[in-house]
């Protein structure tokens, strides 16, 4: 079964180019195209795609708000946001909206395919340029503050669970993989967030990218 993809972008040429790129691989089927956020929500609700590729800067309703609506209405649809912006504020907003991938518009074709494949498999994906910028910014901030990396405060088990959480695994899946209870996973998750000074999973994913733990 091919991965069913919805493409939303207000530029017809970009939609056409993405459709051609994906469909020539044989593993993807583009089941719909939308020109703005509201149209994307309508099509996603009707078609229930596996992946929704959403341009961040769409008219009427931007891609981040569109992603939030789609994530709430159709949780099984995984969101890949496509953007010109590589700064941290956009990326954190994207993650909080429910997106699992963040792809820069200037990305080569190979990265586009990698992004769709990763998100389809339930993994997170960030353009290499985004990862590089975030890692460099994180190192610079630590140097400016003379701070040490709180990652070393985590136990080996906590580091293992962090890696599983940011790769898209649920508490139940982690519990099954590690042969521990869900409540134990939840306790570890709370301890990880506390030690790192974070509040939720989107912030944890962004932390992992900045640390170079997730590409």
Where in the sequence is the domain holding 198, given as residue range(s)?
Answer: 148-209
- Is residue 39 in some structural domain? yes
CATH number at residue 169: 1.10.10.10
Q: How far apart are CA 78 and CA 91, in angstroms?
A: 16
pTM (2 decimals)?
A: 0.75
Which residues face 123 on adjacent strands?
none
Q: How far apart are CA 190 and CA 185, in angstroms?
A: 9
Asked if 178 and 110 sit in the same domain, the reply is no
Total structural domains within the chain: 2
Residue 102 and residue 126 in contact, taking contact as beta carbons nearer than 8 Å: yes
Longest dimension (CA), the chain: 52
Consecutive H or E run containing 172 = helix 171-178
Per residue in 103-149, pLDDT (tens digit) is 998 889 999 999 999 999 888 888 888 777 776 776 676 666 665 66
Domain limit, last residue, from 96, 130, 164: 130
Distances (CA, A) of 15 to 8, 54, 159: 7, 10, 40
- Is residue 214 in some structural domain? no
Confidence band (pLDDT; 50, 70, 90) for 77?
very high
Query: Percent of the chain having pLDDT more than 70?
Result: 93
């Amino acid at each position: 079964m091919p991965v069913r993809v919805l493409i939303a972008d207000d530029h017809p040429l970009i939609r056409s180019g993405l459709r051609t790129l994906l469909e020539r691989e044989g593993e993807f089927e583009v089941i719909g195209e939308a020109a703005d956020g509201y149209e994307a929500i309508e099509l996603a609700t009707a078609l229930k795609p596996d992946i929704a590729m959403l341009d961040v800067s769409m008219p009427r309703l931007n891609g981040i708000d569109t992603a939030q609506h789609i994530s709430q209405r159709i949780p099984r649809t995984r969101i890949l946001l496509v953007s010109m912006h590589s700064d941290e504020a956009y990326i954190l907003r994207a993650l909080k909206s429910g997106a699992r991938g963040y792809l820069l518009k200037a990305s080569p074709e190979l990265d586009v395919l990698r992004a769709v494949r990763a998100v389809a498999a339930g993994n997170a994906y960030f353009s290499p340029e985004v990862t590089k910028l975030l890692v460099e910014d994180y190192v610079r901030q630590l140097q400016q503050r003379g701070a040490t990396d709180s990652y070393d405060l985590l136990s080996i088990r906590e580091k293992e669970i962090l890696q599983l959480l940011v790769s898209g695994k649920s508490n139940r899946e982690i519990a099954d993989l590690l042969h521990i209870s869900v409540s134990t996973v939840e306790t570890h998750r709370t301890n990880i967030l506390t030690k790192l000074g974070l509040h939720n999973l989107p912030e944890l994913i962004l932390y992992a990218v900045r640390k170079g733990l997730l590409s």
